[in-house]
């Protein structure tokens, strides 16, 4: 019984937490509106502090955003994002 509790706590709990974080990120609306998505001007790689992690700046005519991206198996996933619009 103790072995099963340990297995559930060390394996399934982190798996469920990661799944909940990914689902919450997918369900969240895009916070910048149409201006950042449609009027794309440039994207600059600021740094890659870790393997498969990148800090990217995206600029448009009126907005600028910094995205922290993590590479999965085949795609880049947004971990955090900060935007400023004027």
Give the domain ranges of the chain. Answer: 1-30, 34-86
Model confidence, pTM: 0.49
Q: Where are the alpha helices (DSSP H) in 1-86?
A: 2-7, 13-27, 34-38
SS3 56: strand
Per-residue pLDDT of the chain (86 residues; tens, 9 = 90+): 788 888 777 777 777 777 777 777 666 655 545 444 555 677 778 788 778 888 888 887 778 888 888 888 888 888 888 888 87
- 63 backbone dihedrals φ, ψ, rounded to 5°: -130, 155
């Amino acid at each position: 019984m103790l072995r099963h509790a340990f297995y559930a706590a060390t394996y399934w709990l982190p798996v469920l937490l990661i799944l909940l974080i990914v689902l919450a990120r997918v369900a969240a609306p895009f916070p910048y509106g149409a201006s950042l998505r449609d009027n794309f001007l440039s994207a600059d790689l600021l740094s890659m502090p870790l393997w498969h992690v990148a800090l990217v700046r995206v600029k448009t005519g009126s907005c600028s955003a910094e995205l922290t991206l993590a590479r999965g198996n085949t795609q880049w996933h947004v971990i955090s994002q900060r935007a400023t619009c004027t």
